[in-house]
Amino acid sequence: MKSIFAIAAFVSFLGGVSAQSPAWGQCGGQGWSGPTTCVAGYTCTYSNPYYSQCLPGSGTPPLRRRPHPRRDLRPRRAPRPPNNGGTPMLGPESSSGYFTIGSTISLTGSGSGSQKLYLNIDNSGTQSYKALMFGTSATTTDWGLEGDTIITTAPRQLNFLACQAATGGFWNVWLQTGNDTPAGKTCAVVTMHLPCLC
């Protein structure tokens, strides 16, 4: 009888423990049913209705929870990279251009004017993170979609490396094919998704 009481007390104690999202983890968004607080030193930062993320800092987490039929991970930043002198960056949706995706990704708007620019991968380096750049011709022709996730198809790759840029609120982005990261940068491995089309 004592062991049953001890087990019941332990289970009751576990029910009161609330998990916290890890550093850089998701902590909110429509349909999110996981933890809404972050580990020490990180703050739950609202990005868009679908995604809030634990970022370095302090403060109280925003609670923006509304029912939504989708439960998949939403990107922290807009998946439409703005053109910053030929280099794509992730940033707020208000800074993004419009793109078309098929076997190539082409961008119009957000600094490119009426000229169509193509998102290409620079495979010349030896590091596992591959530079992305905009060019007037498409040299990368193996982009694709898996559901709403942007991938390369040959070889299949869906991980990108996002590192904080000098410009506040923006992130430099590379295709990640391994474990290398740029020295001295704060980075996270991310996947990029199209906005909800539902």
Task: Tell me: pLDDT of 85 over 80.
Answer: no
Q: Which of 45, 71, 97 is the last residue of a domain?
A: 71
Residue with more model confidence, 74 or 93: 93
Question: 29-70, pLDDT tens digit by residue?
Answer: 777 788 888 888 878 887 777 788 888 875 443 433 333 333
Task: Tell me: pLDDT of 152 over 70.
Answer: yes
Task: Retrieve residue 113's tokens.
Answer: 């004017």
Place 13 in a pLDDT band, splitting at 50, 70 and 90.
very low
Residue with more model confidence, 150 or 2: 150
Whether 106 and 174 map to the same domain: the answer is yes
Task: Tell me: pLDDT of 147 over 70.
Answer: yes
In a domain, 162, yes or no: yes
Whether 42 and 108 map to the same domain: the answer is no
Q: Which domain holds residue 41?
A: 19-71
In a domain, 129, yes or no: yes
Q: Which of 71, 106, 136 is the last residue of a domain?
A: 71
Global pTM?
0.56
Whether 38 and 135 map to the same domain: the answer is no
Q: Which of 75, 64, 90 is nearest to 164 (CA)?
A: 90
Place 95 in a pLDDT band, splitting at 50, 70 and 90.
low
E-state strands within the chain: 26-28, 42-48, 51-56, 83-84, 87-90, 98-101, 105-108, 117-122, 129-135, 143-146, 149-153, 156-157, 160-164, 171-176, 187-190
The pLDDT of residue 87: 74
Yes or no: say if 2 and 27 are a contact pair by the CB < 8 Å rule. no
Whether 170 and 107 map to the same domain: the answer is yes
Whether 156 and 88 map to the same domain: the answer is yes
Whether 91 and 169 map to the same domain: the answer is yes
The pLDDT of residue 65: 34
Whether 178 and 87 map to the same domain: the answer is yes
Number of independent structural domains in the chain: 2
The pLDDT of residue 192: 86
Whether 35 and 100 map to the same domain: the answer is no
Task: Tell me: pLDDT of 133 over 70.
Answer: yes
Average pLDDT, the chain: 72
In a domain, 2, yes or no: no
CA distance 32 to 18: 15
In a domain, 196, yes or no: no
The pLDDT of residue 66: 34
The pLDDT of residue 60: 40
Min mean pLDDT across 10-19, 137-146, 179-188 is at 10-19
Question: 153-180, pLDDT tens digit by residue?
Answer: 989 999 999 888 877 778 888 999 999 9
The pLDDT of residue 114: 63
In a domain, 14, yes or no: no
What is the percentage of the chain residues whose pLDDT exceeds 90? 16
